Amino acid sequence: MTNRAWWKECVVYQIYPRSFYDSNGDGIGDLRGILQKLDYLKELGIDVVWLCPVYKSPNDDNGYDISNYQDIMDEFGTLADWEKLLAEMHKREMKLVMDLVVNHTSDEHPWFQEARKSKDNPYRDFYIWRPAKAGHEPNNWRSFFGGSAWGYDEQTSEYYLHLFSKKQPDLNWENPQVREEIYTMMDWWLQKGIDGFRMDVINMLSKTPGLPDVPAVTNDRYQFAGQYFVNGPRLMEFLLEMKAKVLSRYDILTVGETPFVTTQDAIMIAGEETGALKMVFQFEHMDLSAETGAEIRTDKSSRLLDLKSVMSRWQKDLEGRAWNSIYLGNHDQPRSVSQFGDDGRYRVESAKLLATFIHMLQGTPYVYQGDEIGMTNVAFESIDDYRDVATRNMYREAVENKGVDPLEALKVVHAKSRDNARTPMQWDPSKQAGFTTGTPWIKVNPNYEEINVAEARANPESVFHYYKKLIRLRKENPVIVYGSYDLLLASHEEIYAFTRTLEEDRLFVILNFSANTSVFHLPEDFAVKSTELLISNYNINPDENIQEFSLHPYEARVYRL
């Protein structure tokens, strides 16, 4: 049986501050805006907030490029505003998890400003510098945001590594001084009373010595080189050092953002006994739709078997060994209802189904802002309406270098852009969705008149009220948190069904992931004596015989057996 812990029992709400609520009309969400909405989060039942980066930043990548780790970005407010926010959260018995971005800094961070001055500057070795190789970049690694992962610096005629944008130089974790600086900074925030860290691309800290060229798998000049920096040779050493020097001294939630991890990696990084972190974000289920590359996959039901097998493997492999974090969306992904559900006719039903799904699996659920009202993807008419550096770079690369038709490229942007999740939070049907009295930094989704918090709170059948109920159920039923998971109907192409069992207590979760009415038969040996319907997204007869029945489009039910 898994050990009990508060960070297993909580529900985390992710805030993307730039788009949450603007308190002063400059079009940018801010800390005072969040403060004004704490009671809203409390009403929803949230007990932990993960706040995306609010540190000083030139915002090349919306705060993931930090120029001062120990101060607040001007647009978001001041350190005093932040202190007040933390105090008000604690007053409401809510916890605050901060984003930790230490794979890279901004190129405007004083360390990098120093480092680039000369080859013998004391900060030079804080970053990863290499001379040109035969007049070219030091190797063929590709940046996540397109182009080479190397930036040329004229002043010293050398290249620096940047796995992300050219304004995000990678820190050199091989340098013990870098690690000490980071630990000191982390401690500074923990001493202020924060309740944890979400750690940005934390499994990319250790790069393979020699930084070798990666074997080409496409015709492109630059190639994805994950094998040389994902879960690199010294990763565990660094994380365990961080644990020994900082993390182990506090009762905190730590979640590593760890693209490309397997369950074995997760057990190593976040194992109950010997791991360094409390949990990790895995990406296998998010990448199911990404695999087809530029092609947009519309055939959602055939993906269900893949989704079942991925999620079931994570549930079973981690059980009793490590703890899952459960999510279907964040600020880097299309909206969950657009990606996994139906953002048209069955928007409300499918948003509720997905909510049921993330709350009923074993692990800590993460709710991304706006998902609790079923916010959807957006399709802006022009690439100029997009703000995300990754989106803009990809589009330019496709149209300018690869000759992709601009309209086709825009279609991919509509389906995949990170800005889908970054349009302003829709608070009410007034102008700019009640997000700002000014002009928002990115356009609001035009569907705000229909989809907004004011409507959702007033309507007892809304996605919002359904989330509230799920969160309450989780608090009342330890089986939802700690019960073991067992998949049923493994090869059904439309229905995802599973049980959760904690000693005598047993739940049966049944989800129709399709727009069809779907019929199923429970196995003979799955004898059901009496049932209690805990929650459902349709009005159904709670005493219906459940040995065999049909489910409405996107119907979700949870029974206690």
Q: What amino acid positions are annotated as catalytic residues?
A: 200, 257
Distances (CA, A) of 66 to 127, 202, 375, 402, 533: 14, 15, 29, 32, 48
The nearer residue to ligand TEU, 259 or 365, going by C-beta atoms, is: 259
What is the smallest separation between the CB atom of 103 and ligand TEU, expressed in angstroms? 7
Using alpha carbons, select from 369, 275, 379 the residue that is nearest to residue 33.
369
Window 232-271: residues binding ligand TEU (CB under 6 A): 257, 259
Closest CB to ligand TEU among 98 and 473? Answer: 98
How many residues contact ligand TEU, by CB under 6 A? 13
Report what 96 binds from Ca ion, ligand TEU, none; CB cut-off 5-8 Å by kind.
Answer: none
Q: Using CB under 6 A, which of 40, 144, 526, 549 touches ligand TEU?
A: 144
Cβ closest to ligand TEU, residue 101 vs residue 353:
101
Q: Does 24 bind Ca ion (CB under 5 A)?
A: yes
Q: Is residue 164 at the binding interface for ligand TEU, with CB under 6 A as the rule? A: yes
Task: Decide: is 200 part of the binding site for ligand TEU (CB under 6 A).
Answer: yes
Question: Is 30 one of the binding residues for Ca ion (CB under 5 A)?
Answer: yes
Question: Which of residues 277 and 425 has its CB atom nearest to Ca ion in the complex?
Answer: 425
Task: Return the one option of ligand TEU, Ca ion, none that residue 201 interacts with (CB less than 5 to 8 A, by type).
Answer: ligand TEU
Binds 319: which of ligand TEU, Ca ion, none (CB < 5-8 Å by kind): none
Cα 327 from Cα 363, distance rounded (Å): 10
466, interface contact from Ca ion, ligand TEU, none, CB < 5-8 Å by kind: none
| Cβ atoms of residues 426 and 433 within 8 Å | yes
- Separation CA 367–CA 355 (nearest Å): 9
Residue 332 interacting with ligand TEU (CB under 6 A): yes
- CB closer to Ca ion, 7 vs 76: 76
Report the nearest approach of Ca ion to the CB of residue 463 (Å): 27
Shortest Cβ distance from residue 547 to ligand TEU (Å)?
Answer: 43
Q: Measured in whole angstroms, how far is the alpha carbon of residue 179 from the centre of its chain?
A: 25
Question: From the list Ca ion, ligand TEU, none, which binds 28 (C-beta under 5 to 8 Å, kind-based)?
Answer: Ca ion
For 339-345, which contacts have Cβ atoms below 8 Å and span 24 or more sequence positions?
Answer: 339/289, 339/377, 340/300, 340/307, 340/513, 341/554, 342/515, 342/553, 342/554, 343/376, 343/377, 345/515
Kindly state the smallest distance separating residue 230's Cβ from ligand TEU, in Å: 10
Under rule CB under 5 A, how many of the chain's residues touch Ca ion? 5
Using alpha carbons, select from 8, 93, 98 the residue that is nearest to residue 46: 93
Q: Which is nearer to ligand TEU, 95 or 416 (CB)?
A: 416
Q: Of the listed pieces 14-22, 102-110, 118-126, 331-339, which binds Ca ion according to CB under 5 A?
A: 14-22
What is the C-alpha separation between 374 and 353, in angstroms, rounded? 11
Distance in Å, CB of 178 to ligand TEU, minimum: 17
DSSP string, 254-284: EEEE-TT--HHHHHHHHBTTT-SSSEEE--T
Q: Is 201 in the site for ligand TEU (CB under 6 A)?
A: yes
Contact string 394-423 vs ligand TEU (x = CB under 6 A): ------------------------x-----
User: Of 114, 95, 97, nearest to 105 (Cα)?
Assistant: 114
Pick what 144 binds: ligand TEU, Ca ion, none; C-beta below 5 to 8 Å, kind-dependent.
Answer: ligand TEU
Nearer to ligand TEU, 201 or 307 (CB): 201
Q: Write the single-letter amino acid at 402.
A: K
Question: Of 45 and 232, which has the nearer Cβ to ligand TEU?
Answer: 232
Minimum Å distance from CB 200 to ligand TEU?
5
Q: Is 516 in contact with 492 (CB distance < 8 Å)?
A: no
Least separation in angstroms between residue 416's CB and ligand TEU is 7
Dmax over CA atoms of the chain, in Å, equals 77
| Interaction partner, residue 61 (Ca ion, ligand TEU, none; CB < 5-8 Å by kind) | ligand TEU
Q: Two tokens at 34?
A: 């969040």
The pair of structure tokens assigned to 264 is: 């074995």
Give me the residue label for tokens 């609010």: 54
Report in angstroms how near the CB of residue 64 gets to ligand TEU at its nearest: 3
Q: How far is CA 284 from CA 7, 28, 54, 230, 290, in A?
A: 23, 33, 28, 15, 10
Q: What separation in angstroms does the CA of 462 have from each of 329, 371, 454, 466, 538?
A: 20, 12, 11, 6, 12
The answer to whether residues 163 and 104 touch, using CB atoms and an 8 Å cutoff, is yes
Binding residues among 92-111 for ligand TEU as defined by CB under 6 A: 101
**Residue 409 binding partner per list Ca ion, ligand TEU, none, with a CB distance cut-off of 5 to 8 Å that depends on partner kind:** none
Listed residue (86, 102, 76) closest to 191, CA to CA? 86
Instruction: Specify the residue, 22 or 60, whose C-beta has the smaller distance to Ca ion.
Output: 22
Q: Are 538 and 555 in contact (CB under 8 A)?
A: yes
Spatial CA neighbour of 253 closest among 84, 99, 372 = 99
Which partner, Ca ion, ligand TEU, none, binds residue 30 by CB below 5 to 8 Å per kind? Ca ion
Site for ligand TEU in 45-84 (CB under 6 A): 61, 64
Decide which of ligand TEU, Ca ion, none touches 260; Cβ closer than 5 to 8 Å per partner kind: none
Residue from the set 22, 60, 65, 343 that interacts with Ca ion by CB under 5 A:
22
112 lies in the binding site for ligand TEU (CB under 6 A): no
Q: Closest Cα to residue 542, out of 525, 524, 560? A: 560
Q: Judge contact between 307 and 356, C-beta under 8 A.
A: no
**Closer to Ca ion by Cβ: residue 24 or 262:** 24
Residue with tokens 């001493």: 191
Distance CA 327, CA 350 (A): 15
Q: What are the residues binding ligand TEU (CB under 6 A)? A: 61, 64, 101, 144, 164, 200-201, 257, 259, 331-332, 390, 418
Q: What are the residues binding Ca ion (CB under 5 A)? A: 22, 24, 26, 28, 30
